[in-house]
Structure 1
Amino acid sequence: MTHTSPRPIDFLIIGAAKCATTWEQQSLSASPGIFMPAPELHFFSRVYDKGFDWFNAQFDSSQPGDILGEKSNSYLTQPEAAARIHAAYPDIKMIVQMRDPVHRAYSDYCMLLRRGEVDEDIRRHLDPQKAATERFLNDGRYGHHLKRFFALFPKEQILLLAFEDVATHPDRQLQWVADHVGYTGQLTPPMREKVKDKHANAVPAPLRRILTPLRPLLDPIRNRPPISTLRNLVAKPFTYPALPDDLKQEIETFYQDDKCELSILAPDFLPDWNRPEGARISGGNTS
């Protein structure tokens, strides 16, 4: 790794996966004066050995005076990412958007099932007795993962948001982020459509696997003719297995201790899925 100094940037969206962070990234990037490279770089989590020469170059298309940010959901869950970020950017602002962890786990499973990366044995992938340390369940342990960041960064540098507020108050949600990162320009209205609609027709899994090596070339143009036309011709309706009630309850139980840990770390962060009965609901929170 080279010893190039990190380029100054202003903020990071560090997670969580399947919590509308791509919506957040695309909505912010549409506003003048905010620059974010296309998601996700995964620099501090997966490709740190590429060095800061590579990371810095991802911002070369920005303009002088732009607020610079980056979004990689893996930063929240990769154990070494927090320390790496702190070493490079001890004063950086961070955003964490979270949802009900049970819903997050099921949504994540459905996404990889749609891609053909997992099978339809939902209990194999979501049963805490079998898969507690795997991606689907582990990534929703927000308290466990955030503890690493709160140990290194002042709480006011970390904005906690609830995914559920995106549907009800998208403009307010985006404004909280803008205020947190110091953006004083005019925000472009946030995207209203879903970035990833799981109910849309899907390319059959065998064909997806064949095309996987070509994704770096196809993804940027997937919504343009003729690629979009060809995709629509082969895409078929996709059916997901339901989350059984008993399994849902087991997952709820699995997350109880972590919800307590999150409440201790951030007592004022009170989305519906993580608040005591009768407590008020709060939105953007930095503590």
Structure 2
Amino acid sequence: MTNTYTGQADWHPSFIIIGAVKAATTWALEQLQVNPALFMPDPEPHYFSSEFEQGEDYYRAFFEAQAGSERMLGEKSADYLAHPQAAQRIAAMLPHARLVVQFRNPIERAYSDYKMLYRRGTVKEGPEAYLASLDNPQPRFLNDGLYALHLRRWLDHFPAEQIHSFLYDDVKAQPQATIEAISAHIGVDPVFDVGQSRKKANNASERFLPLPVRKVLAPLKSTIAPLRGTALFESTRSMFAREIAYPPLSSELRLRLRDFYADDVADLGQMLGRDLSDWLDVTQSGAKQGNDREKHKKVA
């Protein structure tokens, strides 16, 4: 069945959160999922990026149960923003889709992405091995934060009015207003769950299960997901979870990252009409990281 207004199949998503990775895309997903007028699958399809070769039937499976319903369909795959072919692929299938993108300080984003793969055991060396230049086994750490470069590619395929952008800082400062703006962009009445927002804030933690345990539980991720947040689950998890001692991001490396991103940050600021100069204030960021380490020492 085809939507006569858009010319698209009725299982096609009407909006997509395209990234960036480690910029609070999961927060936006879970807030939008609270809205009964919307349907978004929990797993990231990654169809227009890493899973494109699986074909359209793979993508349809995420939405076909909702086809023909009154709910607006959407999805979130945070790697779309930086993927070199995602914009062209989405434009070919979903030219009318409303796009949502959020940006985070690229220095903090790169280090957060590094920490995620470090705790997974994918990378084992310190951040200098991966964040000093693009010539390393994980160039995504640096490349994914070149937001202006990536956004221009999307603007080659979509008009600016179809792309709504906001900052990680907006989520922290004005979470409800952020959701209201996203909802207006995709065309639904906003629903904001204060409890959901607080739960995410309370559950934000640097404590994780030991890596061998996480690897054993990985195949059960979807089964375990509904239990998260329950008293029994959280109390059991707290018995075994430990804080990970990440290799720190040195002041010298922060300066190199500032220089690496300076031009792109300036370009993005002009594109968005926003002052992003705080992103390049490495003195402030370094001081915050030092204070966080001192807090952790006191707790320990």
TM-score greater than 0.5 by the shorter chain:
yes
In structure 2, distance between residues paired with 1:123 and 1:262:
26
Compute the displacement of 1:245 (Å). Answer: 0.6
The alpha-carbon distance between structure 1 residues 14 and 241, as it changes in their structure 2 partners (threshold 3 A), is same
Q: Which amino acid aligns with 1:56?
A: R
What residue number does 2:108 align with?
A: 103
In structure 2, distance between residues paired with 1:133 and 1:261:
24
What residue number does 1:205 align with?
A: 211
3-state DSSP of counterpart to 1:91: coil
> Percent identity among equivalent residues?
36
In structure 2, distance between residues paired with 1:32 and 1:208:
32
What residue number does 1:86 align with?
A: 91
Q: Mean alpha-carbon deviation: is it higher for 243-252 or for 176-185?
A: 176-185
In structure 2, distance between residues paired with 1:211 and 1:188:
29
Q: Which amino acid aligns with 1:240?
A: Y
Q: Which amino acid aligns with 2:83?
A: Q
How much is the aligned-residue C-alpha RMSD, in angstroms? 2.7
Compute the displacement of 1:254 (Å). Answer: 0.6
* Residue in structure 1 matching 2:197, options 180, 183, 191: 191
Compute the displacement of 1:78 (Å). Answer: 1.3
Structure 1 gaps of 5+ residues are 276-287
3-state DSSP of counterpart to 1:54: helix
Compute the displacement of 1:242 (Å). Answer: 2.1
3-state DSSP of counterpart to 2:145: coil
Answering whether residue 34 of structure 2 is matched by residue 30 of structure 1, we say yes
Compute the displacement of 1:236 (Å). Answer: 1.8
Higher share of residues assigned helix: 2
After superposition, the C-alpha distances for 1:154-211 in whole angstroms (9 at most, x for unaligned) are: 0010111111111110000111100100112544446224379663421112333344
Taking the TM superposition and a 5 Å limit, the aligned residue runs for 1:137-286 are: 137-184=142-189, 186-189=191-194, 191-194=197-200, 199-221=205-227, 230-263=236-269, 266-273=271-278
Structure 2 gaps of 5+ residues are 1-7, 281-300
After superposition, the C-alpha distances for 1:214-233 in whole angstroms (9 at most, x for unaligned) are: 44544454555876555333
Q: What is the count of residue pairs matched by the alignment?
A: 271
Compute the displacement of 1:30 (Å). Answer: 0.5
* Residue in structure 2 matching 1:67, options 44, 61, 72: 72
The alpha-carbon distance between structure 1 residues 127 and 194, as it changes in their structure 2 partners (threshold 3 A), is farther
TM-score calculated relative to the size of structure 2? 0.80
Higher RCO (CA < 8 A, seq sep 6+): 1
The alpha-carbon distance between structure 1 residues 132 and 53, as it changes in their structure 2 partners (threshold 3 A), is closer
TM-score calculated relative to the size of structure 1? 0.83
What residue number does 1:280 align with?
A: none
